[in-house]
Structure 1
Amino acid sequence: MLWQERPIRMKEDTIAKIKEETAGWEYMQNLPEEWHGFRLQREPVIGKDKYDLYSYVNEGWHKKVIVYFHEETHEYKVRLKIGLIEFARIEFITGKLSVFEELLTSQFEQLLKDTAQFNPATLSSIVMDLKLPEWQWGRELPLENEGFELFIKPAEPVKINNGSYIVIDYVDFALESSFTVYYNIYRGEFFSEARIWNIPDVNYDFDSNDLQELEEKLCARMPARLQQVRQWAEEQKDDIHYGSN
């Protein structure tokens, strides 16, 4: 099969469909300009397969909540960007704008609240049983490590999708690079991922079945991993900036 480059913009008939369906959409017209610390951005953004209808943003928090149409699945959805990580919230997925409005009306404000400030109620009983918020070693993590900022800490894990939670997230926003530790409730396993200029780089050096094993591996290997991520990001900086010009 010959490789074919994906179009840089979604199909014109999809764009026309979304514009027609959302023209005069009263719910969107009546949205507050500021909501729980976020500012509304009304200007639509059209990408390869996503039509962002609007978003709520707080640049200082590095958080964004986006309401959009996904061409690949032909559904309306909500996705979050927290730090460098983006993910969809499955409870908002629907193919009908009328149903989407009902979901937004009943759940979107709470989503903003939970995104603005950690809500312990978002944690599953499995995560609570791990006693992540009480993990002493996790509470003593440095706020800065090898030039990375501790953006998400174990005391306030963030629920994403597919049963996973972000447990630790060290980020350098200037380099768009990070080191992240996750926990998946279905596999009962901790695992990690780095991002270099927001491109994932996975290894299995931190895979662990419990907090004790994770702590031992983080103590032994995290400093070197952070140094490696920084080195790779610095080495690629000129290429990244050149490619964006």
Structure 2
Amino acid sequence: MKLSVIICTSGRPESLKKVLQSLKQQSFKDMEILIMRETPLVKARDLGWRKAKGEIIAWIDDDVIVDKNWAKNLVEIFEENPDVGGVSGPTIVPENLLKNRLVFWWYGKSSLAAKLWVKLVLDNQPYRVGKITKIGWWTPGSNFKSCLKFKGLQEVDYLEACNMSLRRRLVEKAGGFDLGFKGTSEWCELDLAMRVKNLGYRLVWSNKVKLEHQVSRSGVFKMRRKWGERIQNYLYFRKKWL
């Protein structure tokens, strides 16, 4: 199986060099790399797969470092499991970089606000991988080293945005990304993965398909301050699925 790796990037040249170097060192070689610079992000992700030639399409961020067997392991999962439509894996964020994402604000805190967030938003499962919660949020367990203890293929509700791979024919059948998402396009990847799942295929997570997410505050990060767009994306996703 040929693998197409899509990297959407904006204003992070040094980070991009690192991810490209890690891809160069992959043990799996039947692979093409597409670098997309279009905005909004959902447009870049969608245009990427339409230009790709691989049977498997993988999307990663421009601030990750992939394990040397990342590509090999994800392709093997698709080859050995014809009922699997999508694959994801660990997206480990170094502990000193957790502060770079507001979604981790609760980590290490014992305040009432943090406890309520974990209970009401994360369904008391902050370290679970790949779960969509009752209110339409997502559990962030894949970002912590503790996720490496999960063995075998874990059935999940969604795929991590910075470590997401799908069968091309299923992406095409599902219609690709919904261009109704705005700005940083959060939830667009959950939406596509769930549509692929609704075609009758499994979404799985494997600790062998791992990368390190060196979350950056440069480049596209400034768009994360546009809370109006982010809230619109969340409500748009909720309206479609909940």
Range into which the TM-score falls when normalised by the shorter chain: under 0.3
TM-score by length of 1: 0.23
TM-score by length of 2: 0.23
Structure in which a larger fraction of residues adopt helix: 2
Structure in which a larger fraction of residues adopt strand: 1
Q: Which has the higher contact order (CA 8 A, sep 6+)?
A: 2
Which structure would you say has the larger Rg? 1
